Structure 1
């Protein structure tokens, strides 16, 4: 059938078209079926049906699909019915608990990237992984398939190091410090980081306070070869793009299947050319990993998965019962990160960064990696390395922590009683920071003024909330009042005397 194709502006990675219901009857298709659209090129699209939004004889297509089929808005294309791709059968197999071959898994990934699967079919795939899982051979094949959907970097014979945190810990701002220490030691570490998904700040969200993070693959390679390391946002590159497509579907489902998470992480490492990887696994009651047994299980899987992918993996299981450092939010975390590099930041941030960087140094052959990492940080060599990377990415290498100014609206939350800080809720801290506007409002966030075990007097400041607007500050204060992110109590919970004793 010949139809006039017109563009409609909708942000979607999937190949979607809108057809008039009467044209669908002629083609013998219905909602959710597929058609082949042929212009100067050819692509497969998923159909939505309307009798009012699109006229007979027309087909509405996304800008992405117009490019794929080689057509321009207003031109005529040929539209024919198409059967469901083979990958749908493989998805049904995983739903039934079947083990898939590498070829089957590659077909699913290729069809997701190609836009040939509907959101419902991708959701079914992720749900099948959530329920039935994958063995490590399947997961390794999945990681390779995702990596192969984009550019795979190569740095010749050089060993390429990487660092990754599972997430789930607010204020975990150590990545730029780790990269700066490692590059100061003469090693290669092209670090690709994500933006916040459910948190108040991802690494890329605060690193862009210093310099560009939207580097493409060629820029990542060039900067790394020039200064040894890079701070780049994964979303700007075409390194393992399939993982980002799956995340968009996972988010509304509220699931994070273990094989999906592991394959997505490792696909980025394969794509970045990593040969050695240190994984930070934050362990806490409100973290993604909540028990020692679960942490050990992840470390075994990651190390075994690394062997299958040709990457040496070592893991650090780290404390995550309270935010790392004090700052949560883009500008606040950027300032605290710089303070650590300048030699005057919180000791817990510096110590964790040196432990993780030290593990990388020992993988490279240093005898006392932790000690060497502390020396590099304390000597100012890490700060100089940081400045070189920032300059190479278009930032001002002379930027200091004093240049990082948070939101102009702020308010303190005081302790209602004297005693000790008994508990800090990571989830509540994140909720308050997000209510204040983080991470989209760069000046928004919170400063945790008292950590667990700290002695407090009535009226002492527990938390300071920052916002870029007064309205968001008020909203954040209401959230803080309802969630109580920091709990302070006296040492004595009650007094029972002789008169209270029962016979």
Structure 2
């Protein structure tokens, strides 16, 4: 995977994204996504459409409509595209934020990835390999398990002027941290994608590369009182304080004792006030 955001592939789109991302809006996603694919001369494209609670796409029916819009436009541009509707009811993997996600990507390529992230990555890569007649999902899984995928990533890093021997722990993350722990024994009932993303932005991501959220649990996991649920990383104390205020009103991870023991998951309080953080 090569990120083209700093290469000036679609300058107008880059300017729009700089406005859209902090606001959490994305009205031009069709041209935004396809512009860079056309700019680099792509011939085959796999479109990932995460679908579920807390994602931009709420239902499979909506996902299909979006997929057809993309495929129609891609066909006009001479691209061969396939779309895949993927599970999006909770975050895939554990990391949110540039450095944390880069750490997790390296760990996954080194064979230490979470099952859901490995499954999704191998599945998407398999679709692309199948499109070009190169073996599909099994070939992708073999590339991961054999270390070929990791070696290729290190080649890419070296070509871009980075350290090909970089380790996950070499990537610096924010030194201002807040860990939220379970307040009771039970099971993880729900993880709010949109709130996790909002916390990441409030902490400074993606502008602050070391900011973000690291999740320690998945839906269905059993936890004990005091177990860590997630840690927020920030590069400034002011941003971490803003996150603390938000967490006083809402938590992205809900823990309960199961539907049989606890039908009421929480009391709904008035909508929290919007937090605005100004920096010089």
TM > 0.5 fold call: yes
Higher relative contact order (CA 8 A, sep 6+): 2
- Equivalent position of 1:234 in the other structure: 5
1:479 aligns with 246
Q: What does the per-residue CA deviation read over 1:308-363, in whole Å, with 9 as the maximum and x for residues that have no partner? A: 22111101111111111111112211111100011112121111111111111111
Could you tell me how far apart the structure 2 residues matched to 1:339 and 1:449 are?
Answer: 15
SS of residue matched to 2:145: helix
Q: 1:348 to 1:254 in 2, by over 3 A?
A: closer
CA contact (8 A) 1:428 1:480 kept: no
Match of 2:80 among 305, 312, 316: 312
Q: Distance in 1 between matches of 2:206 and 2:182?
A: 26
Q: Give the equivalent residue in structure 1 for 2:96.
A: 328
The residue number in structure 1 matching 2:142 is 375
Q: Is 1:266 paired with 2:37?
A: no
Once the two structures are TM-superposed, the CA of residue 435 in structure 1 deviates from its matched residue by: 2.4
Question: Is the contact between residue 435 and residue 479 of structure 1 (CA under 8 Å) also seen in structure 2?
Answer: no
TM-score by length of 2: 0.85
Structure 1 segment 61-100 matched on structure 2, within 5 A: none
Cα deviation for residue 253 of structure 1 reads: 8.9
Return the alpha-carbon distance in structure 2 between the equivalents of residues 245 and 494 of structure 1.
47
Using structure 1 for the length normalisation, give the TM-score. 0.49
Q: Name 2:257's counterpart in structure 1.
A: 490
Distance 2:238 2:125 in 1: 41
Distance 1:307 1:494 in 2: 49
Specify which of 200, 211, 226 is matched with residue 433 of structure 1: 200
Q: For residue 366 of structure 1, what is the aligned residue in structure 2?
A: 134
Q: Does 1:460 align with 2:218?
A: no
Ranges in structure 2 where 5+ consecutive residues have no aligned partner: 265-280
1:410 maps to 177
Aligned residues: 262
Q: Which runs of 5+ in 1 are unaligned?
A: 1-175, 177-230, 496-503
What is the correspondence of 1:74-473 to structure 2 with a 5 Å cutoff? 176=1, 231-237=2-8, 239-247=9-17, 256-257=26-27, 260-367=28-135, 369-473=136-240
Cα displacement (A) at 1:407: 2.1
- The 8 Å contact of residues 421 and 451 in structure 1, kept in 2 or not, is answered as yes
User: How far did residue 458 of structure 1 move?
Assistant: 1.7
Q: Distance in 2 between matches of 1:250 and 1:466?
A: 23
For residues 234-256 of structure 1, the C-alpha deviation after alignment (integer angstroms, 9 at most, x for no partner) is 3532x333333555676799864
Aligned partners of 2:21 and 2:109: how far apart in 1? 34
2:112 counterpart SS class: coil
- The structure with the larger Rg is 1
The 1:254/1:330 distance shift into structure 2, 3 A limit, reads closer
User: Cα gap change, 1:405/1:377 in structure 2, threshold over 3 Å: closer, same or farther?
Assistant: same
